[in-house]
Chain A
Amino acid sequence: MAYSDKVIEHYENPRNVGTFRAEPEVDASEVGTGLVGAPACGDVMRLEIRVKDGLIADARFKTFGCGSAIASSSLATEMIKGMTLDQAAQIKNTQIVQELNLPPVKIHCSVLAEDAVKAAIEDYKKKQASRATAPVRETQAAAPAATPEP
Chain B
Amino acid sequence: MVAEATTAAAQRSITIPVPDGVRLPLFLDNHSTTAVDLRVVQAMLPFFTQHYGNAASRNHSFGWTAESAVDRARGQVAALLGGDAKEIVWTSGATEANNLAIKGAASFLRKQGNHIITVETEHKSVLDTCKRLQREGFEVTYLTPAKDGLVTPEQVTAAMTDKTILVTIMLANNEIGVVQPLAAIGAAIKAKNAKTLFHTDAVQGFGKVPFDVEKARVDLASVTAHKLYGPKGIGALWVRRKPRVRIDPIIDGGGHERGMRSGTLPVPLIVGFGKAAELAREEMAEEAVRLNALRDRLYKGLTSRLTETYVNGSLEHRLPGNLNISFAFVEGESLLMALKDVAVSSGSACTSASLEPSYVLRALGVGDELAHTSIRFGIGRFNTEAEIDYVIELVVVSVERLRALSPLWEMHQDGIDISSIQWTPH
Contact = CB atoms under 8 A, between A and B. Distances in A.
Interface of A: 3, 8, 11-14, 16-19, 21-23, 35-46, 60, 62-67, 69-70, 105, 108, 111-112, 115, 146-149
B416 to A, nearest CB: 5
Contacts of A13: 11-13
A97 to B, nearest CB: 16
Interface string B1-30: 011111000111100000000000000000
Contact of A38 (B10, B11, B332, B425): B425
Contacts of A39: 368-369, 372, 408, 418, 423
Interface in B324-353: 329-334, 337, 348-350, 353
Contact of A46 (B6, B372, B407): B407
B421 to A, nearest CB: 5
B143 interface: no
A66 B337 contact: yes
Interface in B390-426: 404-410, 416-418, 420-426
A108 B4 CA distance: 29
B404 A146 contact: no
B413 to A, nearest CB: 12
Contacts of A16: 6
Q: Which of A13, A37, A65, A146 has the most CB of B within 10 A?
A: A65
A43 B11 CA distance: 18
Given A19-B2, A22-B5, A105-B353, A65 B423 contact: no
Contacts, number: 129
Given A3-B337, A22-B3, A64-B329, A40 B426 contact: no
Contacts of B268: none
B334 A66 contact: yes
Contacts of A18: 3, 5-6
B149 interface: no
A62 B425 contact: no
B83 interface: no
Contacts of A45: 407
5 contacts: A18-B5, A37-B426, A66-B333, A66-B334, A70-B334
B230 interface: no
B331 A69 contact: yes
A22 to B, nearest CB: 4
Interface residues of B, number: 43
Interface of B: 2-6, 10-13, 329-334, 337, 348-350, 353, 355, 357, 367-369, 372, 404-410, 416-418, 420-426
Contacts of A40: 367-369, 372, 423, 425
B426 A112 contact: yes
Contacts of B421: 35, 146-149
Contacts of B2: 19, 21-22
B422 A149 contact: yes
A148 B419 CA distance: 9
B367 A42 contact: no
Contacts of A8: 337
A76 to B, nearest CB: 14
A3 to B, nearest CB: 7
Contacts of A108: 355, 426
B178 to A, nearest CB: 24
A148 B368 contact: no
Contacts of A111: 426
The list of the 8 closest CB pairs from A to B, nearest first, reads: A18-B6, A38-B423, A39-B369, A40-B368, A66-B333, A46-B407, A42-B372, A62-B407
A22 B337 CA distance: 28
B8 to A, nearest CB: 9
B347 to A, nearest CB: 10
B12 A65 contact: no
A64 B405 CA distance: 7
A41 B426 contact: yes
Nearest to B416: A148
Contacts of B420: 148-149
Contacts of A35: 407, 421
Contact of A44 (B350, B355, B357, B407): B407
Contacts of A112: 426
A41 B406 contact: no
A94 B75 CA distance: 60
A5 to B, nearest CB: 13
B424 A38 contact: yes
B366 to A, nearest CB: 11
Nearest to B353: A105
B426 A42 contact: no
A146 B406 contact: no
A35 B331 CA distance: 17
A44 B406 CA distance: 8
A36 B408 CA distance: 12
B11 A14 contact: yes
A23 B5 CA distance: 6
Contacts of A65: 331, 334, 350
